[in-house]
Amino acid sequence: MTTLLKSILTLIPSPFASSGLPNPPRRRLSDADDEDEDLKTLLNPATCSQKGKHWVWADEPEDTNTDERKGHEIYYELHGTGKEHVLFIMGLSNGSSSWSTQVDHFGSLSDYSVLVFDNRGSGHSGYPSGPYTTSAMAQDVVSLLDFVEWTGSKSIHLVGISMGGMISLELATLIPERLASLTLCVTSAGDKYRRNLPPREGLQTMMKLMFVTKKQEDRIDAAVELLYPANWLDEEDPDDSECRTRRITRTEHPKRFNDLLERTFREGREVSGPPGEPVRSDHLGMGIKLDGPAV
């Protein structure tokens, strides 16, 4: 428990300066590389248009006469070929494959291109020495976006969850001109005095999900309890033809989140969930269009 809390606390944002160094040659995976079992996509291979490892410089070399420079690789995947660019940033202890439902949905639509990646220290990405900060991790993303040439004005729909939401907030201050919308899910802006820890109920559920609950069905039930009020979950779902409670139907509609994202991308308004669904304030998901006022 103590080790986990220390790991979480190291993620509080701190200043990070970009190196300004030119990037080395980046590596895109060839057909031969695809034979490497470790680098085969865990997402939909039918929609994957590009994947590889992008090198991010960490600092200036101590000796200007040497080419030795510190840095690390960031593994990424691009899915779809549409003009609408969607960037998903995952949270602590999860990788790009956790966005599989969203990649399947948006990657198969002709209007969208989807970029997912493994944060430093996870998945196929490099493991530079710590501690890690959300500011530095945001710089990783800027470098990756420059590489895939997602540099246009108001061209990126940014979606961040948990720690990924914190990284997204850093990005919104670094490259605000590139963002068309910002969707923040179960996250916060952090607190420099480290007072912004989850409530006791949230910590208990996190521990249960990480170390105790093994079955997927039980994990979903625990997450639903954390997101919605119990009395609302026990009410009959008016949209269900079988008259089941919302406690059951909430676990059967992963498409709802994708629908919510599309509303954010297309309609340009602030949303907190599908119509009629309450969301607890300490776990609020919010999407806003950045090129106009929210309504």
DSSP class of residue 47?
T
**Number of C-beta neighbours around residue 106 at 10 A:** 26
In this structure, are residues 107 and 114 in contact, taking their beta carbons and an 8 Å threshold? yes
Which of 155-159, 255-259, 288-292 shows the lowest per-residue confidence on average (mean pLDDT)?
288-292
3-state helix, strand, coil in the chain (%, to 5): 35, 20, 45
Q: How far apart are CA 142 and CA 149, in angstroms?
A: 10
Say what angle helices 200-207 and 216-227 make with each other, to 10 degrees. 170
Residue 153 resides in a domain: yes
Position with higher pLDDT, 219 vs 38: 219
Q: Is the same domain home to 113 and 252? A: no
Residue 9 resides in a domain: no
Of the residues 197, 226, 244, the one at which a domain ends:
197
Q: Is the same domain home to 147 and 228? A: no
Q: Is the same domain home to 152 and 218? A: no
CATH code, 140: 3.40.50.1820
Please tell me the predicted confidence (pLDDT) of residue 268: 52
Residue 10 resides in a domain: no
What is the tally of structural domains in the chain? 2
Q: Is the same domain home to 55 and 123? A: yes
Q: Is the same domain home to 45 and 162? A: yes
Residue 129 resides in a domain: yes
In this structure, are residues 157 and 181 in contact, taking their beta carbons and an 8 Å threshold? yes
Q: Is the same domain home to 228 and 155? A: no
Q: Is the same domain home to 189 and 202? A: no
Please tell me the predicted confidence (pLDDT) of residue 73: 95
**Number of C-beta neighbours around residue 16 at 10 A:** 16
Taking 80 as the threshold, does the pLDDT of residue 269 lie above it? no
Q: Is the same domain home to 192 and 214? A: no
Per the structure, the complete domain to which residue 211 belongs is given by 198-265
Please tell me the predicted confidence (pLDDT) of residue 158: 96
Give Cβ neighbours of residue 146 (< 8 Å, ≥ 6 apart). 23
Residue 145 resides in a domain: yes
